[in-house]
Amino acid sequence: MTLYPAAIRKLLRRVSVEVRLRRAERGAWRGAFWGGMAAVAVLVMKGSIGALAVPLALALLGLGTLAGALLGASRRVGPLEAARLADRALQLDDRVATSLEYAGRSERSQLVDALLADTTGRLEALPPRRMVARVVPREGRTLALPILAAVALALAPPLPDPQTLIPEWLGAEAKERRDQDLALAMLQQRGALAQDLLRRDPRANRDAAEGAGRRPPPTASESPALFQDKALTKPSADFSSFVKRGDERLRVLGETDKLPDLQSDFASSKYRALLRKHEELASGLRARQLSPKKLAELLMEMERLGRKIDEEFGSDAFDGYYDAMERGQTDEALEAMENALGRLRDLEGRSRDARRLRGGREPDQAARDDGDRLDGAFDDSGAEGEGVAPGLGRSTDAKGRPTARLRSTPYTSGVRGAQRGRVPLYETQAAGSTSRADGPLPSVGVFGQYQRMMEDAIAREQVPRDYHEQIRDYFKSLNER
Amino acid sequence: MSSPAQVESFVRAFTGLRVEVEKLIVGQAEIITGVLTGMFAGGHVLLEGVPGLGKTLLVKTLAQSLDLSFARVQFTPDLMPADILGTNIVVEDPAGGKHFQYQPGPLFAHIVLADEINRATPKTQSALLEGMQEHAVTVGGVSRPLPSPFFVLATQNPIEMQGTYPLPEAQLDRFLFKLQVRYPAIEELNAILDRTTQAHTAAVQRVMDGPTVLGFRDLIRDVPIASHVRDFATRVVMGTHPQWAHAPEITRRYVRYGASPRGAQALVLGGKVRALTQGRYNVSLEDIRTLAAPALRHRVILNFAGESEGIDPDALIAQVLEGVQAETTRTAEPVLG
């Protein structure tokens, strides 16, 4: 039983039919496009398919169109959907949809009856018109392209070999073949380089050159600016460079029973320089991508630097490397190189330990530390940084064992002054602005000066940001003490 | 039972009432329609505008057009709840005995004009809450019903904010609509001058009484609304909530709290009144769209970013409407669907 008036029923049927027609149209456009694309693909392979290609392409085009139209028309349109569409198209202010919804209710108010009557009257008064706009999809707007391409291909002679038109990256077999060729070429190249390295024996060449007092000729990988250890040649290091030298120095400073070795700059450490060189040569490449040539360069640099630290750093460090290179195993060669780097690091550590503290009182200094000079007298005879504890003299201990004075107050280093009575207050002659010009400055003031200098230095110098806090913490701890 | 004749009667009465108000109020057709819509929907209306735009005159004229009691309360900082609700006073009976007698306040009127409501303290503002929502007040432990129909029209000035107490959200939510009274156009200003600077003053006639208003309120509630229109109203209200999954970007960025369910009620009830006044027997999407700003602008609470960037709630609601409308149209497109 139909609950709503015939006019509404008729309208809904009309809308439904119209919507399905439009959907069929839209589906046909889309189907034709994709059918056209398939037809183009068939016509491209006309040479292989033969005379059947053109009929097959036409059939695909027709089938696509038909399938799209059928698919579009097969979708049902609900009455509420149709009612809302009619309301919008006929500007009925949702009368049809509301009527449809309320007409089916068992209890209808007079207002609902009035609504139904009003809607029916308006519908009957409206002239028949199209309610659903034609919507041409994007595929319909570009349908001409596959059609034109298909016509052109149909008229043109068959293409010689469709396989050649397929991009190389589409063919899995071709890719595999190309990879195999490349791998073979690389293996051959590596083997040849390894043989060449073994023949040349660069260590022998270099040793001979050094023994003759000549500077060995620089290799391509040598970078004098990078590897020259200028810090070692400096007569003295200023505070700025001290600050710049990074966390290694700070770690040493943190150890209260040792003095900093200002001469050894972590930033210019050979190990670090070698690591940089390694990174530079590797350039972020994976082990397999590192060429044997670069590996050879790296090896030579490592060997040269190792020998610079320790004369005994010899070929045994690289045994694994040569074996691996001989076999063409880049991975193993890299691993051997890392081991050699570890050994270099140990050498560097031992060397640094040996240089670190030669502080303390030396026998020739003891005579100067008589009664008229109090503990903490400044010793400026030695070069700064070479185990010198300012005011504390040199130590005969090669390991740099600190003196008792230093052990008790390690942070008084650099302060020349005198103790007043039993109060551990030191007047210094350090330069600085005080109330009395050129007068002694309390050691606490020195710390403040150092802190200001530190702030200037880290702002001026290129100190890594990560080290800023560590440096500040260190100076803060000085003040707290 | 409602009937088309009643609808016609309502339309005539509504038009007549508007004509009477327009005898004294020049222009402001939107405001007059909004006030009448609010009254027939059974809600209260907040009028916001700078001084001198005729807000108070509008309410007084409306009260004169209706055969209903009218009370005006000028809200000031020293106004106390008892001043508007009433209080128990000691009276002496003929026998010489004394007893307490309740003296009703001005709230016991059909139409109450709360002039400059934001000048009273929150305590006094809150005294209106029960009356506006429950149509009853409780004094001395006794609940007393207010006359029906009961209609509060409040005014507030948006610029003189010193010494004022902005209405709390709970109080604002009690108002069905918040109408913003705009400045008159040049022609309207000329007409105002003509009417107010001459000796002749138009007389306003009473065109409706209380029972008629109540009858129309029942009629309005019978107006059908389609489910998709109701859904649209709900989506608009939910679109003001930043927590809602489909809320537009502007809501997520600038809104702290969205409109309450009273906002949705205001949309639907207002839509029903508007439908009848337009000669329709059903609520349309256009009704909801038209009433969205007056029904929701005072219910949307902006967050700090919204306040600091001076986001206009009307613009926000317009974007919400746009988003919901686009979604509704997309889902209702049968060909593309």
Give CA–CA dist A307/A313, Å, rounded. 5
pLDDT at A259: 43
How large is the average pLDDT for residues B205-226?
Answer: 92
Instruction: Tell whether B2 lies on the interface with A, counting CB pairs under 8 A.
Output: yes
Q: Do A99 and B284 touch (CB under 8 A)?
A: no
Find which of B219, B232, B277, B281 to mutate to test the A interface (most A CBs within 10 Å of its CB). Answer: B281
Instruction: Using CA coordinates, name the residue in chain A closest to B278.
Output: A93
Instruction: Tell whether B123 lies on the interface with A, counting CB pairs under 8 A.
Output: no
Burial A422-453 (b: 16+ CB within 10 A, else e): eeeebbbebeeeeeeeeebbbbebbbbbbbeb
Instruction: Using CA coordinates, name the residue in chain B closest to A122.
Output: B280
Give CA–CA dist A176/A178, Å, rounded. 5
Per CATH, domain B1-222 is 3.40.50.300: yes
Tens-place pLDDT, residues A108-145: 888 888 999 999 998 888 887 777 777 788 888 888 89
Counting residues of chain B whose pLDDT is more than 90, the rounded percentage is 63
Instruction: Using CA coordinates, name the residue in chain A closest to B287.
Output: A93
- Band the pLDDT of A328: cuts 50, 70, 90: low
Measured CA distances, A244 to A228, A410, A459, A468, A478 (Å): 18, 21, 11, 10, 18
- Contacts of residue A347, defined as CB under 8 A and 6 or more positions apart, other chains included, come to A306, A309, A310, A313
The answer to whether the beta carbons of residues A343 and A313 sit under 8 Å apart is yes
Distance of CA B240 to the CA centre of its chain: 20
pLDDT at residue B243 greater than cutoff 90: yes
Q: Which residues of A touch B7 (CB under 8 A)?
A: 111, 114
Most confident of the ranges A2-6, A251-255, B25-29: B25-29
pLDDT at residue A309 greater than cutoff 50: yes
A1 or B125: which carries more pLDDT confidence? B125
Q: Do A98 and B286 touch (CB under 8 A)?
A: no
A270 or A62: which carries more pLDDT confidence? A62
Give CA–CA dist A98/B284, Å, rounded. 9
Q: Do A19 and B334 touch (CB under 8 A)?
A: yes
- Contacts of residue B146, defined as CB under 8 A and 6 or more positions apart, other chains included, come to B107, B108, B131, B135, B136, B137
Of A82, A94, A112, nearest to B285 by CB-CB distance is A94
Half-sphere exposure of A234 (CA within 13 A, CB side): 17
Q: What is the DSSP letter of B297?
A: T
Instruction: Tell whether B5 lies on the interface with A, counting CB pairs under 8 A.
Output: no
- Band the pLDDT of A279: cuts 50, 70, 90: low
Q: Which residues of A touch B229 (CB under 8 A)?
A: 94, 97-98
pLDDT at residue A442 greater than cutoff 70: no
Write out the DSSP string of B202-227: PPP---EEHHHHHHHHHHHHT--B-H
Cβ neighbour number for residue A404 with a 10 Å cutoff: 9
- The residue extents of the domains of chain A are 6-165, 174-217+269-355, 363-480
Q: Do B3 and A115 touch (CB under 8 A)?
A: no
Give CA–CA dist A192/A21, Å, rounded. 74
Instruction: Using CA coordinates, name the residue in chain B closest to A84.
Output: B332
pLDDT at residue A358 greater than cutoff 50: no
Give CA–CA dist A253/B218, Å, rounded. 90
Instruction: Tell whether B301 lies on the interface with A, counting CB pairs under 8 A.
Output: no
Counting residues of chain B whose pLDDT is more than 70, the rounded percentage is 97
- Band the pLDDT of B311: cuts 50, 70, 90: very high
pLDDT at B291: 96
Q: Which residues of A touch B3 (CB under 8 A)?
A: 110-111, 114
Three-state SS for A442?
Answer: strand
- Contacts of residue A82, defined as CB under 8 A and 6 or more positions apart, other chains included, come to A11, A12, A15, A16, A19, B334
- Chain A: closest CA distance from residue B264 (Å): 19
- Chain A: closest CA distance from residue B243 (Å): 30
Instruction: Tell whether B229 lies on the interface with A, counting CB pairs under 8 A.
Output: yes
Cβ neighbour number for residue B273 with a 10 Å cutoff: 28
pLDDT at A461: 74
Give CA–CA dist A218/A304, Å, rounded. 11
- The residue extents of the domains of chain B are 1-222, 223-337
Of A77, A94, A114, nearest to B7 by CB-CB distance is A114
pLDDT at residue A166 greater than cutoff 60: no
Q: Give the dihedral sign, CA A5/A9/A12/A14.
A: negative
pLDDT at A363: 42
Of B222, B226, B229, nearest to A111 by CB-CB distance is B222
Q: Which residues of B touch A110 (CB under 8 A)?
A: 1-4
B243: tokens are 């927590």
- Band the pLDDT of B157: cuts 50, 70, 90: confident
- Chain A: closest CA distance from residue B335 (Å): 5
Where helices occur in chain B by DSSP H, the ranges are: 4-24, 29-41, 55-65, 81-85, 122-134, 169-173, 186-196, 210-221, 227-238, 249-254, 261-277, 285-296, 304-308, 313-331
Of B224, B228, B286, nearest to A84 by CB-CB distance is B228
**Which pairs count as long-range contacts for A458-467, CB under 8 Å and 24+ apart, including other chains?**
A458/A243, A460/A240, A461/A240, A461/A243, A461/A244, A462/A244, A463/A243, A463/A244, A463/A246, A464/A246, A466/A247, A467/A246, A467/A247, A467/A250
The answer to whether the beta carbons of residues B55 and B74 sit under 8 Å apart is no
Find which of B282, B289, B327 to mutate to test the A interface (most A CBs within 10 Å of its CB). Answer: B282
CATH code reported for the domain at B223-337: 1.10.8.80
Q: Do B284 and A94 touch (CB under 8 A)?
A: yes
Side chain identity, residue B294: P
